[in-house]
Structure 1
Amino acid sequence: MKRLAMASSVGTTLEWYDFTIYNLMAALVFNAIFFPSFDPLTGTILAFSTYAVGYVSRPLGGFVFGHLGDRLGRKFVLVTTLVIMGASTGLMGMLPTYATWGVWAPIALVALRFVQGVALGGEWAGAVLLSMEHGKPDQRGRNASFTQIGPSCGTLIGTGFIAAVSAWLAPEEFQAWGWRVPFIASVALVSFGLWLRRGVEETPVFREMEQKRETARTPIKEVLGAYWRQLLIAGGSRIGSDVLYALVVVFSLTYVTSVLHLSRPMALGATMLGSALNAVAVPLFGHLSDKVGRRPVYLAGAVLGMAWAFVFFVLMDQAHPVAICAAVAGGLLVHAMMYGPQAAFVAEQFPGRVRYAGASLAYTLAGILGGGFAPLIIASVFKSWQSTLAISVYVTLALVVTAVAVLAARETGKSPLQR
């Protein structure tokens, strides 16, 4: 299980490292180097639009790799998606800017972001199943949560890397070429992930289905036809946690630097602290869901998230480092209450023959409504209303959707895994 845990989490760690450095660059420098013809806030909104492309493209990865994961196996897809993700991120670091390449620079950025999203859309479900379909039945919540550690670890590593580069270089140097370093460095990280994943075995569930010739011929069609209710429940459960994450991790950087006019290292430091707390809390809440059930833990996180959507800006507007760190760390702790049991909750909605396809579609389609457009909506709402109250209401409504979806689901924590 140690190697499986590492193989499950390292892929999502590396891929969320890639996503994190893109997200942070969108908030910090892409408005100037890829969209320089607009005012800073409008440029940031456009940069977040390219952020959304990475979510819009995820369902394509969910369709393609969800089909392959149920037909050819979990391990095959996990190796393939990691290679695609690493290549697209490395190429981002080599892109000419708008000053050199004109309009082709943001077009190429969007294209690579699209490829990133396709890879990540096929990655998540496979990483979850790799650890969940191994191990003991009463530890599925904990085992599946190993994958959920990846985003926090990737965020922590990516944010730390950018903070170090920012501290090492002058602001002009960082904007001129320093932003490229974290992108290019991801190639080495992907190599380590490939080494880990190539050394793990296919899951017992898939091997058994293969031996009995019970693999689905058209898993996507089967999910959409026979398991559409489970698809809605699993997808709806994800929306609120994604929107809360976008507020706390992505928009907070813009708010701290552009609205409160505080330093970039301070904003990155708050994100790192919150990410470290989240990485520790996610498996703890995953384990707790094995003991008391998925729904109670998940619902508690959704309700607390509704309250934190308002507390967040009360703390932020203090413009004090301690208050800002508390806002981000508290938000990511609440997020962990949903994110810990989420992987097992989503995957357990579907039987083994279509579990990869079902979990992939739920994850990727909900990602468009949740995390994909959340930073864009939040930034646009703030620009239009010049008030954080509307943002808090938006986050609360997204969490209401999640709470309704979880209430509509059956409790899966104590039930045998569907075959």
Structure 2
Amino acid sequence: MKKSRVLLASLVGSVIEWYDFYLYGTATGLVFTSLFFPNHDPAISLLLAFVTFGAGYAARPIGSILFGHLGDRIGRKAALIFTLVGMGGSSMLIGVLPTYEQVGLIGPILLVTLRLIQGIALGGEWGGAILLATEYAHKGVRGLYGSIPQLGVPIGLVAGSFSLTIINYLTTDSQFIAWGWRIPFLLSGVLIVIAIWIRKGIEETPDFQQQKDSGDIARVPIIETFRHDWRNVVRAIGLKIGDGYFNVFIMSFILVYATTYLGYSRETALGALTVGCATMLLTIPIVGYLSDFIGRKVIYVGGLILMFLLAVPYFSMINKGSAWLYIMEVVVLGVVWGAIFATQGTLFSELFPAKVRYTGLSVGYQVAAAIVGFGPMLWTTMAESYGPSPWVFGGFMMAGLVLSLVFCLFTPSVTTSGHSDKQKTA
């Protein structure tokens, strides 16, 4: 099996899954508030819309258990096919949903249901894509391989945001609200077919195939994970919380924060986000490669410390002009968070044995994602009460980062052979 085909399969599926997931986030601020959650108070409409955004995050642990079970018992490949079907199908249906004005409460109820399906599918996609890459990697390039699926996040976010932006540019306001916003959701159906074709052409990962050949397959992976590896699940949750809140803010809520509370145009806010994501395309593979030489934990701790130090300055500087908004998005999102995220998949996967790796990796990451996914609801309330205060928002981020740094102290270092010190000496 050509490694390039494997890396393409891990990346293309990840791009499309995150395209669909972030497409919803962008549409939330643009159209969902008025079409599905109309209210005389715009703040309440926005808050209700972000509840559905958070619901997608809340559903991700369910997907981690469901697809983790499938991936650890039947195979990584099978699980990853089903995640694509779930995400693509739900996104296409969002594209044909009737609005609140057309069917009343049925419209937002269906929207929330489909958002939950999106979350379940993404809950299984991330861990599987990471394992598809890392379990094919040989010694010395596991960090690089594990960073490739992570590129799906910035690519998917920009693709989702720009697809709506382009349609908005090509249509009038009334056309965009009436039908234009639906086109990017319907387009995901075509992309999913391409991704499934690519993934069906790959073989099962060597690590899982070895487990299968030996007959050492977990009967109920989630039970075995919490019986033997619960500490590593807790570690993964703690490690993700800190950067997770910052991640959701600088890649999703920043569009609302910058336009609603700082007065920037949507073009400026989206431009800054795009440049930050473009920087990540360079940072992620470079740092992933370096992590095989200087250690993933070292990079991770360094990134958390830098993000902690930049928390208050970030919120202070983005209020001083569009140039500073661009600069801080590049530094905090593109460089610092990009470096953390580059190592995250490989670092978390190396905490678990192959027998329950899909489940352990996915559950730890997605439980943390469910917690931080409701950040926009908190920030909307904070902004209404305190305004865009750098100390309020920066202090919030710093608290989460301290938690992650504490967990780093209790996380075993990983050798270049891909095993934690604890696993190696056991």
Same fold at TM > 0.5: yes
Quote the Cα distance in structure 1 between the aligned partners of 2:89 and 2:289. Answer: 35
Q: Residue 47 of structure 1 aligns to which amino acid in structure 2?
A: A
Asked if 1 retains the 8 angstrom alpha-carbon contact of 2:350 and 2:418, the reply is: no
CA separation of 1:139 and 1:185: change in aligned 2, threshold 3 A? same
For 1:74, give the aligned amino acid. R
- In the aligned structure 2, how far is the partner of 1:249 from the partner of 1:214? 40
Could you tell me how far apart the structure 1 residues matched to 2:418 and 2:9 are?
Answer: 24
Conserved? CA contact 1:289–1:413, under 8 Å = no
CA distance in 2, matches of 1:96, 1:243: 32
Residue 373 of structure 1 aligns with which residue? 374
Deviation, 1:63, is: 1.0
Q: Any conservation in 2 of the 1:59–1:118 contact (CA below 8 Å)?
A: yes
Q: Which residue of 2 aligns with 1:305?
A: 307
Residue 258 of structure 1 corresponds to 260
Structure 1 counterpart of 2:329: 328
The 8 Å contact of residues 308 and 331 in structure 1, kept in 2 or not, is answered as yes
1:193 pairs, out of 195, 199, 207, with 195
Alpha-carbon spacing, 1:413–1:274, altered in 2? closer, same or farther (3 Å): farther
Is the Cα contact below 8 Å between 2:299 and 2:343 reproduced in 1?
Answer: yes
2:185 aligned residue? 183
Task: Write the distance in 2 (CA, Å) between the matches of 1:186 and 1:177.
Answer: 16
Partner of 1:139: 141
Give the conservation status (yes or no) of the 8 Å contact 1:238–1:402: yes
Q: Distance in 1 between matches of 2:281 and 2:378?
A: 27
> How does 1:22-37 map onto structure 2 within 5 Å?
22-37=24-39
> In the aligned structure 1, how far is the partner of 2:388 from the partner of 2:5?
47
Distance 1:176 1:314 in 2: 38
Deviation at 1:129, TM superposition (A): 0.6
Structure-2 residue corresponding to 1:5? 7
Q: Quote how far apart the aligned CAs of 1:121 are.
A: 0.6
Cα shift at 1:376? 1.6
Identity over the aligned pairs, expressed in percent? 37
What is the CA–CA distance in structure 2 between the aligned matches of 1:280 and 1:156, rounded to whole Å? 15
Equivalent residue in structure 2 for 1:94, among 90, 96, 107: 96
- Number of residue equivalences: 417
Find the counterpart in structure 2 of residue 21 from structure 1.
23
Residues in 2 aligned to 1:28 and 1:386: alpha-carbon distance in whole angstroms: 21
Structure 1 residue corresponding to 2:242, chosen from 240, 243, 262: 240
Match of 1:401 in 2: 403
Tell me whether 111-120 or 286-295 shows the greater mean CA deviation: 286-295
Superposition RMSD in Å: 1.5
Which residue of structure 1 lines up, in the alignment, with residue 383 of structure 2? 382
In structure 2, relative to structure 1, the CA distance for the partners of 1:108 and 1:11 (3 Å cut) is same
Taking structure 1 as the reference length, what is the TM-score of the superposition? 0.96
Deviations, residues 99-125 of structure 1 (Å, cap 9, x unaligned):
111111111110000000111111111
Query: Do the aligned residues in 1 keep the contact of 2:233 with 2:364 (CA within 8 Å)?
Result: yes
Identify which of 190, 206, 210 aligns with 2:212: 210
Displacement after TM superposition at 1:9 (Å): 1.1
Provide the rounded CA distance (Å) in 2 between the counterparts of 1:154 and 1:412.
30
Distance 1:98 1:319, change over 3 A: farther
CA drift of 1:301 comes to: 1.1
Residues 268-283 of structure 1: pairs in structure 2 closer than 5 A: 268-283=270-285
**Deviation string for 1:67-106 (max 9, x for gaps)?**
1111000000001110111000010111111111111111
Give SS of 2:148's match. Answer: helix
Q: Distance in 1 between matches of 2:177 and 2:209?
A: 50
Partner in structure 2 of residue 129 of structure 1: 131
Matching residue of 2:269 = 267
- Pick closer, same or farther for the CA change 1:325–1:416 going to 2, 3 Å: closer
Deviation at 1:342, TM superposition (A): 0.3
Partner amino acid for 1:49?
V
Partner SS, residue 215 of structure 1: coil
- State the Cα distance separating 1:416 from its structure 2 match: 4.0
TM-score, normalised by the number of residues in structure 2: 0.95
Whole-Å Cα distance in 2 between the matches of residues 316 and 190 of structure 1? Answer: 37
**In the alignment, which of 51, 71, 82 is matched to residue 73 of structure 2?**
71
Equivalent AA in structure 2 for residue 136 of structure 1: H
Residue 261 of structure 1 and its aligned partner are, at CA, apart by 2.9
Q: Distance in 1 between matches of 2:25 and 2:130?
A: 23
**In the aligned structure 2, how far is the partner of 1:304 from the partner of 1:165?**
38
Letter in 2 for 1:104: I
2:225, 2:360 within 8 Å by CA — same for their partners in 1? yes
Cα deviation, residue 234, structure 1: 1.3
Pairing of 1:42-53 with structure 2 (within 5 A): 42-53=44-55
Q: Does 1:222 align with 2:224?
A: yes
- 2:412 alignment counterpart: 410
1:168 to 162, 167, 170: 170
Q: Structure 1, residues 336-369: CA drift from partner, whole Å, max 9, x if none?
A: 1110100011111000101011011111111112
Distance 1:313 1:203 in 2: 43
The letter for the 1-side match of 2:113 is A
**Structure 1 range deviating more: 250-259 or 358-367:** 250-259
Contact residue 50 and residue 376 of structure 2 kept, 8 A: yes
Q: What SS class does the counterpart of residue 29 from structure 1 fall into?
A: helix
- Inter-partner Cα distance in structure 2 for 1:89 and 1:228: 34
Q: 5+ residue gaps in structure 2?
A: none
